Amino acid sequence: MTEIVKIKEQIKKSDKITIVSHCHPDGDALGSQIALALGLEQLGMEVTMINKDPVPQTYRFLKNWELIKPHDENTGPSALMIFLDCATLDRVGYPVENIVGSNSVVINIDHHISNTNFGHLNWVEPSAAATAELIYDLLGLLHVKIDKDIATALYTGISTDTGSFLYENTTATTHLVVSDLINRGADVGLVRLNYYENINISKINLLKYILNNLKFCSDNKICWAAIKQYDFASSGATDQDTEGLINYLKNISGVEVAIIFREMAPEQVKVSFRSKKWADVNLVAEKFGGGGHPRASGCTVNEDLDKAISSVLRVVMESVT
Amino acid sequence: MTEIVKIKEQIKKSDKITIVSHCHPDGDALGSQIALALGLEQLGMEVTMINKDPVPQTYRFLKNWELIKPHDENTGPSALMIFLDCATLDRVGYPVENIVGSNSVVINIDHHISNTNFGHLNWVEPSAAATAELIYDLLGLLHVKIDKDIATALYTGISTDTGSFLYENTTATTHLVVSDLINRGADVGLVRLNYYENINISKINLLKYILNNLKFCSDNKICWAAIKQYDFASSGATDQDTEGLINYLKNISGVEVAIIFREMAPEQVKVSFRSKKWADVNLVAEKFGGGGHPRASGCTVNEDLDKAISSVLRVVMESVT
C-alpha cells in the first residue's frame, strides 16, 4: 500500500481529527489546512484546526479562517493529528508534547525536501509545488466533492507558494490541478484582491527605502541593501513586510546574487540570499552557520551591522568570481 | 464551417505566407508570431515575419527572433497575410497599402474585444487570455507537432499577457494549455530569466522615483504619481519603462484608483488609469477623449502638467465618492 492510501485508510477510521500547520502560517499552510478541514467535515468528521500564530489579515477571506485557534488546555490531543506543510515537528512552534497525545497517530503531509519524516505516516513529495497540491490528490482519493470554498483554499496555497506560477517548483501538474480548481469555482479574483492587490503601505515604504539604498559590487553581479532597526521603526514596517522584497534586487538585469541584511537587534543581523542562475548561496550561508538551497538561503550573523555586511560581502564576492 | 476551420483550409492552400504583428511588439505578439511561423515551416511553407519595430532585448531568447524584419521594398506582399494580436489594421504601424497586396487574403487572429474584424477571415476570441492561446488551437488543428521552441514561444505569449496568470483574463483553459506546453518542453526557466528576472536599472530608477513621489487623495482611495520629462531623462528611463509600474499603485491596500501622469512634451500629458474593484475609469478617460475598459484606461490631455493633474483629479475624485 502506498503511503497516501495508508493515510486515506487511517483518516477513514477516524471521527475526530486535529489539523496543525506551521507557525507564522502562509498561504499554503492555511489553504491546505482549511481545504482539508472542509473536506473531512463533508465526510462527517469532527475537525479541529490549531495554529500557534493568528491568521494574517491578508488570508482572512478564506472560508472558516476564524475557526483556526491557538492550542489551549481545553484542546485535548486527538487520536489522529495531521501536520501540514511542516518540514519538522518544531515548525508548529509549540512544545510538541503539549499537543500530541502519547497514543495519537501522527500524519505528516508536506512538500519540503528537508522533511524529517517525523510522523507515523509520512507523505513527503518534494516535486509538488505546494502542500495544497497534495491535499488536492488526497481529497480526490477520499471522494470529497471539491466545492468553491475548497477550490479557493487550494488555489490560494498553490498560487502563493509558486509566486503566481513563476517559481521553479511550478510544473505541468501544478497548472493541470489549477485548471480543475478554476473549473470547480476557485475564486481567483478574491485571492488577487486580498493577497496580490492588498499591499500594506508599510511594505511600500520599506520597498522605497530599499530601492533608495541599493548597493552594487562585483561588476553589478551582487546587489544588496541593509535595513537598520531604526528604518523598520520609521517605515512602520515589521520583519514580515520584508517578505519577497529581495526579489526586486535579484530581478535586476545582470544581478546574480541579491542580499538583504536586517538588523534585528544590536549585534544580531539576519541575512537573506538569492541567486539567479549559478552562484551557490547555500555554501555562503553555511559558512555563517545558516543554510538553505543553492538559489535561496539565509543565516544570522552576531556582529554589528557594518561588520556583518563586510564579513558576508567578502565571502559572496569570492563566490561570484 | 467555423472561422478557424476556414482559416486552416486557407493556410493549407498556401505555400508563401507573411505573418505580421503590432508595433512595439510584446510577448504575446512575438510569441504568437514565432510559434505560428515555426509551425507553418514544419508543414513546408515559406514564411516571412514582418514587424515595424525591432524585437525588444528581453524577448531575444525566442527561437528565430532575428528573422523578424521590418517591411522594405523587397518584401513583396504574400498571397496570404496573417495578422496576429492586432485589434485594428493600423496597429501594425505601417500604411497598410504598403504591405497588403490588392489580391492578398487577410487573416485576422486576435483576442481583443475591440477588434474591428478587418480581415477576409476573422477569428477573434475575447475570452482567450492571449493570442498565443488561439495559435495553440490552430497548430493543433493543422497537426503541427508542438516542439520545445514552439511551446516556449506560446508559453511566453500566455505568461506575459496574463501577468503570470494573475490578470482577470486567465481561465481554466489557460492553465490547461500551459500544462500541455510544459509537458511539451516549454522552457519556463528561460522565460523567467529573460523576462521576469531581467529588469533594467532604468526601470528600477523610475519605480524608485514614483514611490518617492506617491500622492494620495479621497481617503487614500486614489493614488497617483507624475513623471516629468526631466525625470525620464534623469532616470535614464524611456516611456516603455513605465509599463506595469501603475500596478504598484493599484496594489496598495485601500487604493481603488491608480493614476500615472507622464509628461511627454510641454502641454502633452499621457494619463493611465487602473481601478481595483468598482470605479469605472473608462468613463473618466472618455471625458478627456480617451477610453479603454472599466478597470484600465488612458487618455492624453493637452495642458501643462499641473493643469492636467488638477483637471483629471477633479473628475476621478467625483467618480470615487
Q: What is the DSSP letter of B193?
A: I
Amino acid at A84: L
Q: Do B172 and A189 touch (CB under 8 A)?
A: no
pLDDT value for B299: 97
Nearest in space to B221 (alpha carbons), one of B316, B286, B311:
B316
What CATH number labels A3-196? 3.90.1640.10
Predicted complex ipTM: 0.93
pLDDT at A97 over 90: no
Cβ neighbours of B212 in A, within 8 Å: 208, 212
The residue of chain A nearest to residue B256, with distances taken between CA atoms, is A197
The residue of chain A with its CA nearest to that of B192 is A166
Contact B204 A192 (CB under 8 A): no
Question: Comparing A96-110, A170-184, B39-53, which segment has the lowest mean pLDDT?
Answer: A96-110
Helix (H) or strand (E) holding A181: helix A172-183
- B134 phi/psi in degrees, rounded to 5: -70, -40
Which of 196-255 (A) contact B at CB < 8 A? Answer: 196-201, 204, 207-208, 211-212, 214, 248, 250-253
Domain spans of chain A, in order of start: 3-196, 201-319
* CATH code reported for the domain at B202-319: 3.10.310.30
Cβ <8 Å between A199 and B252: yes
Size of interface A-B (CB pairs under 8 A): 92
Rounded to two decimals, the pTM is 0.94
Contact by Cβ (8 Å): A117, A90: no
Helix/strand/coil (H/E/C) assignment for every residue in B283-306:
HHHHHCCCEECCCEEEEEECCCHH
Q: How much is the pLDDT for A241?
A: 86
For range B70-98, the mean pLDDT: 87
Residue A75 has pLDDT above 90, yes or no: no
Please report which residue ranges of chain B form alpha helices under DSSP H: 3-12, 27-42, 96-99, 131-141, 148-161, 172-183, 188-191, 201-212, 229-235, 246-250, 281-287, 305-319
| pLDDT tens digits, A154-207 | 999 999 999 999 999 999 999 999 999 999 999 999 999 999 999 999 999 999
Residue range B223-248: mean pLDDT, rounded: 89
Q: Can you give the three-state secondary structure of A259-284, one letter per residue?
A: EEEEEEECCEEEEEEEECCCCCHHHH
CATH code assigned to A201-319: 3.10.310.30
Record the cell numbers describing residue B287, joined without a space: 471625458
Contact assignment for A253 to B199 by CB distance below 8 Å: yes
pLDDT of res. B193? 96
pLDDT attached to residue B243: 86
Please give the Cα distance from B167 to A124 (Å, whole number): 32
In angstroms, the CA A225 to CA A220 distance is 13
- Looking at the predicted structure, is the pLDDT value of residue A239 above 90? no
pLDDT in tens, B257-291: 999 999 999 999 999 999 999 999 999 999 999 98
B194–A contact, CB cutoff 8 A: no
CA angle in degrees (0–180, nearest 5) for A124-A184-A67: 65
Give the residue from chain B lying closest to A174, CA to CA. B179
**Which residues 133-162 on chain A approach chain B with CB closer than 8 angstroms?**
159
Select the residue of B172, B180, B192 nearest A166 (Cβ to Cβ): B192
Look at A175 and B176 and tell me if their CB atoms are within 8 Å.
Answer: yes
Cβ of B251 within 8 Å of Cβ of A182? The answer is: no
B102 band by pLDDT with thresholds 50, 70 and 90? confident
Q: How far apart are CA A159 and CA A141, in angstroms?
A: 22
pLDDT at B78: 87
